[in-house]
Structure 1
Amino acid sequence: MTPRKTVLILGATSDIARATARRHGARGDALILAGRNPIRLAEEAADLRLRFGVPVEVHHLDVLQPEGFTAFVDGLPVLPDIVISAVGLLGDQAAAERTPDLAERIIRSNFTGPAAVLALFADAMAARGAGVLVGISSVAGDRGRAANYVYGSAKAGFTAYLSGLRGRMAQHGVRVVTIRPGFVRTRMTEGRKLPPLLTAAPDEVARAILRAETGGRTDVYVRPIWRLIMMVIRSLPEPLFRRIPA
């Protein structure tokens, strides 16, 4: 079977990334999985090959080590048709307030690291005249809240970056997509009480990603209700917004 597309997933061991890889595998796409944990990457690659019979490669990438980004891109077997950044670190807000190194790590993991990697692929895709870049951001970046403003500010930066990159790449045939999942039932949120109406499953996010890759909106709230909610939250006067429970 000849693969339909070659898809690179950065941060490929997260629940959303795994669901997205399976959706692409079921479609017959060749997959390249990148991340920091070689054991988990190898396990996921073996599972995908067995499930779908598609080619799957694994590559090491640490978004906290920008000195390795160029070698990472140059070391890939081909320039992917689609690159999906599922990299992220929620971190602990209280700890980040006390520990500048942790705050910096959260910002680099969610914004500057993924943005720098995507910039390299954007240039290469622009030269080719085709490609899709997908960044998973967050509704937390729509307005800073006391409960998670370090993470939220990083996602706000990533959202703005993707928006600007989308404008720049529009004339080069490269589609740039922003995905804002809202609450997601993952290993990270296990045990937390989440509102069902606002909470997506990883596969729901994956399906939204695949739809956005080929057409429709390029700035996607996985559950449309989030667009209305965040519109209201952004419009609240600051004194009223601060009274909302964190």
Structure 2
Amino acid sequence: MTGQTVVILGATSAVAERYARLHAARGARLVLAGRDSRRLGSIATDLMARGAAGAEVAVMDLAAPAAGFDAAWADMAAKLGGRVDTALLAYGILGDQKAAEADTAEMARQLTTNMTSACAWLTVAANHLERQGQGTLIAIASVAGDRGRQSNYVYGAAKGGLALFAQGMAHRFAGTKVKVLTVKPGFIDTPMTDGLAKGGPLWATPEKVAADIDRAAAKGATTLYTPWFWMGIMMIIRNLPGAIFNRMKI
């Protein structure tokens, strides 16, 4: 893992920043993509202090890059000399379920950001890794995508679609040196979830999730629930009979 080249899409997210720090400590060269140039610059400086061999920024709206997905990816890869060992897709929005129910434009915005654009990035990144013959592609989805629920089914549908897309890619590259990992976190204490009541055993820190991702990727895993207990929780939720599930306010 020493000296790898890493692209992080959504590098200002709390989990992505902690994940980048793990690679920085190993002397990786990184490209950090996102919209907030000031925050990206601050993170890049911090990563260099932590041991990164290089940390460059790529400022863009990841949901709709002005140059297009292929050209934007090519520019980021070029910053790393054309070789990308690991790509992490970590951006997204929680969105407002009620707003999406009332406004089809808002619903489409949430789906575009969390799924359509994310799948476009996975496609250009996967094709790059295929051409070079190796690499790891990581997509952060969510346990919310395992079953549609009244409280967040627009977000859940987007993350569920993203997970299915990434899982299909993992199948596409089975038996090769290109690995695709789908990550399904539960509740994470980050700025993205500041609107939710926090606390309790179901909540994880960004550091915990980043470390779990790092270990799973190193093992060549294809699916990760993090923390681990969400696998059991979601197995129960997925298999609840409709008559019981429909009485639940979740």
Same fold (TM over 0.5): yes
Checking the alignment, whether the CA contact within 8 Å between 1:63 and 1:108 is kept in structure 2 is: no
The alpha carbon displacement at 1:94 in A equals: 0.4
**In the alignment, structure 1 residue 27 sits paired with structure 2 residue 26:** yes
Q: Is the 8 A contact 1:122 1:169 kept in 2?
A: no
Q: Once superposed, what is the RMSD of the aligned Cα atoms? A: 1.7
Match of 2:213 in 1: 209
1:140-168, CA deviations, whole angstroms, 9 ceiling, x for partnerless residues? 00000000000000001001001100000
Tell me, which stretches of 5 or more residues in structure 1 are unaligned?
none
Structure 2: which 5+ residue stretches go unaligned? none
Match of 2:72 in 1: 72
The residue that corresponds to 1:12 in the other structure is: 11
Q: Distance in 1 between matches of 2:60 and 2:229?
A: 34
- Deviation, 1:46, is 1.3
After superposition, where does 1:21-60 map in structure 2 within 5 Å? Answer: 21-60=20-59
Match of 2:161 in 1: 157
Per the alignment, residue 103 of structure 1 pairs with 107
Match of 2:230 in 1: 226
TM-score using structure 2 length: 0.93
Q: Which moved more, 1:139-148 or 1:44-53?
A: 44-53
d(CA) in 1 for partners of 2:89 and 2:185?
A: 13
Instruction: Determine if contact 2:169/2:180 at 8 Å carries over to the other structure.
Output: yes
Question: What percentage of aligned pairs have identical amino acids?
Answer: 42
Q: Which of 76, 89, 92 in structure 2 is aligned with 1:88?
A: 92
Which ranges of 4 or more aligned residues in structure 1 deviate by more than 4 Å? none
Report the AA paired with residue 3 of structure 2: R
Deviations along 1:108-163, one digit per CA (max 9) or x if unpaired, are 11111111111111112112110100000000000000000000000010010011
TM-score (structure 1 length as normaliser): 0.94
- Using the TM superposition, give the Cα deviation of residue 43 of structure 1 relative to its aligned residue in structure 2, in angstroms: 1.4
**More displaced stretch, 54-63 vs 32-41:** 54-63
User: Which moved further from structure 2: 86-95 or 208-217?
Assistant: 208-217
- The whole-number CA distance in structure 1 between the counterparts of 2:91 and 2:196 is 22
Q: Does 1:176 align with 2:180?
A: yes
Give, as a single letter, the amino acid of the residue that structure 2 aligns with 1:229. Answer: I
Deviation sequence 1:42-97 (CA, Å, 0-9, x none):
11111211232531010123232266111111212223100000011111000111
